[in-house]
Structure 1
Amino acid sequence: METIFMAQFMGALYGLLSVIFGAFGAHALKKKLTPELLQSFETGVKYQMYHAIVLLVLGFNLSFDKPLDSAIVNCFIFGTLLFSFSIYALCLGAAKGNKPRFLGPVTPMGGLLLVVGWGLLLYSFIANLI
């Protein structure tokens, strides 16, 4: 699939899911999660929504004529997937008394991809000035 379509599609999908997950966390999980787990769940929702918006903005504004543009979008897509969805799984697993330990390192890897995506975006702005 074309990168511009993926940016727009995943931005819209992540936005939709973050609203659903946010409502689910605020209503269905409020009594099932500890305050710390609920706060972690909400962090996943916030980061997912932030990056949904970024993907939509990039999808409508990047020219996608450079490999760097695709790299930025891919970092945001996969970083959000790994970061937010691993937090959801960890929180839901902990609520059921089952903490999936293999997901522990996934969250920081997703966070690292998000940082790389933001760094590449910053570099793309600076590169245009030089």
Structure 2
Amino acid sequence: MRQHDRVDGIGHATHCPCCGASPVASLVLGGDREGLRYLQCSLCETRWHRVRGVCVNCHSPAEIQYYMLYEKSPVQAEACDACNTFIKMFRLDYDPELEAVSQNLIDQFLDSLVEQEGFVRLGFSPFSFHE
């Protein structure tokens, strides 16, 4: 009999359920699914539901901080003090036209600010490798 890897339940998966890659970003939806968080795969662009209020990486329900360049910014960084990681969060409920991969290139200044605070980015954007 073959052993299978444990698959996280719906709303708890940290990696893409299709290809296993890390997420490029967290998306908070608007419209009829307002407030729901989905992660978007950095490789195949699949989106999957991930519960809010917990760290994407370590599942910690506390110690979450939000960084943004200005109040009510649709582009934010969600950082966890427990594991020192962060993920870029796009608030589609504030701006439904945002696109996760290309917007990551534009908002590298926010990444830099959060990294200066001692956080390491969770996942990656395939188009934004640092030298």
Query: Normalised by the size of structure 1, how large is the TM-score?
Result: 0.26
Query: Normalised by the size of structure 2, how large is the TM-score?
Result: 0.26
More helix by share: 1
More strand by share: 2
Greater relative contact order (Cα 8 A, min sep 6): structure 1 or 2? 1
